[in-house]
Structure 1
Amino acid sequence: MCLITFAWQPGSAVPLQLMGNRDEFHARPTAPLAHWQDASGLVGGRDLEAGGSWLATKRGGVVAALTNVRDPRLQVPPGAPSRGELVADALQCDDIEAWLMALGQGEAWRYAGFNLLVATSQRLWHLHRGYGRLTLSEVAPGVHGLSNADLNSPWPKLVQVRNALEQSLVQERLLAWPSAVQRAMQNAQEAAIEALPDTGVGLELERQLSAAFIVGERYGTRATSWLTLDARGNIEITEQRFGPLGRFEGETTLALPSEFTD
């Protein structure tokens, strides 16, 4: 994904609410949100070119989401694995914390820059692999945003969607979810030039990428996804899909009851 906002409230009835946009070339082959036939209990969209995902979930209450890091100083290591594999690996490993610790202690340098979020109903980790910095931390309770820099880097579109989620929580939590946040996430307005970050892609592309919802013929927002994870490990996830120039192409909602549900 390229833009995520989420509310993390461990100990509550709904510890995690998350919404994000996936931006990608429209020609890249992609499978929509579905149960994975080759991985029992996994649900998510899938990149058919490299085999990974940007957002996926696992029966029993595990969520993993990924954004790429955009920084002109970053170089892709020779033979780097696909970053999308991290999402699938997070959901299929036997010990999430040990797996993340191994990445945080150096294994993540094998990949190009990324942010990885991995959540259960009790814990939420953030792994950042940036330029010269590799950090693994547990996310503090609250409302957060993540784009193509570090957690809560104040890019205009990140601030916009995070504020929308904060306001939705004020308006009686789930009653404003997901509509208010979805409107912000699907806002195609570009940021003012003076507010743009400099990620080395040039002013014209920087402006195009500054919109929460990117509209383009070759490249743009291909999916808006949102999910809730409750305290018992039940997950509900929805994906809306878009084609060139923002054309709506369909919506899917799936529920993953916890394996402990009666």
Structure 2
Amino acid sequence: MVYLNFAEAAEASRSRPERLRAELPNGATALAGSVANVRWLTALAGVPHVYYDRGGLAALVGSVGDCHVVAPASELGWICEVYESKLVHAHGHFVYRGDELSIGAGRTSGNTPVEAVVEALNGLPDSQLIVHDGHVAAEVLDALADSRPDLLLVADPELFSKARSVKDRYELDRLRRANLAAEAGITAALDEARPGITEREMLRAVRRVMVDHDAHPLLSALGFSERGALVDMPVSDRALRRGDVIRFDIGCSVEGYHSDLSRTAVFGSVDSELRDLH
């Protein structure tokens, strides 16, 4: 799990299906396939989804009721720890021993992804219009169309973007945390500035402080003087010298919300050319 506090994240996500419904045509069902949209609707975020942008999760929102989740059977263990198991529809094969996870008999194998989506649809109000976000696998959409000829499948990424465009209090808090973590990393790196420290060592200080702030380091470009003029370059073992310009272009994420900051500093006194350029 990537969320620091799933209960808090889940509580924040409860009002989001209603925000999505406000943008849906009457009687339609929304089908989310992107990692970001599924996470926004359900607060579910596993390692394959966050780090590799894949993993077979989907979320469905009907005209009323709860948000249903389609998930690989291999991930039911952690999903059913934090999400209502009756709202989770599995696909694929995986064997769990014992019943400690309260997953339920027959829920761990058998369905194809399409069958899992159809099962989820059966738990929602009947609809002939499915609006998806453009991130559902083409083979799933094709098979869904074949299995349910009555369905009209429409891609509308803007529907999801519009619902998400105004951030709630929880989202704003995570955006602030991400920016604060990035700023703290820069401050910590500058505190370690000394003759001979390398770009690599200084970036390590940035990323270490980000992690201490429960953030996941992402964009990581840092260059001294002539290397600072390069765009998004990897760090090197170039050592810091007095008079060097230090350019940061860094970012991190907190629970899926990103920061991206650029800052420039000078190690030592600022000469007249640098002052004029600034």
TM-score range normalised by the length of the shorter chain: under 0.3
Bigger radius of gyration among the two: 2
Structure having the higher strand fraction is 1
Using structure 1 for the length normalisation, give the TM-score.
Answer: 0.27
- Of structures 1 and 2, the one with the larger relative CO (CA 8 A, separation 6+) is 1
TM-score, structure 2 as length reference? 0.26
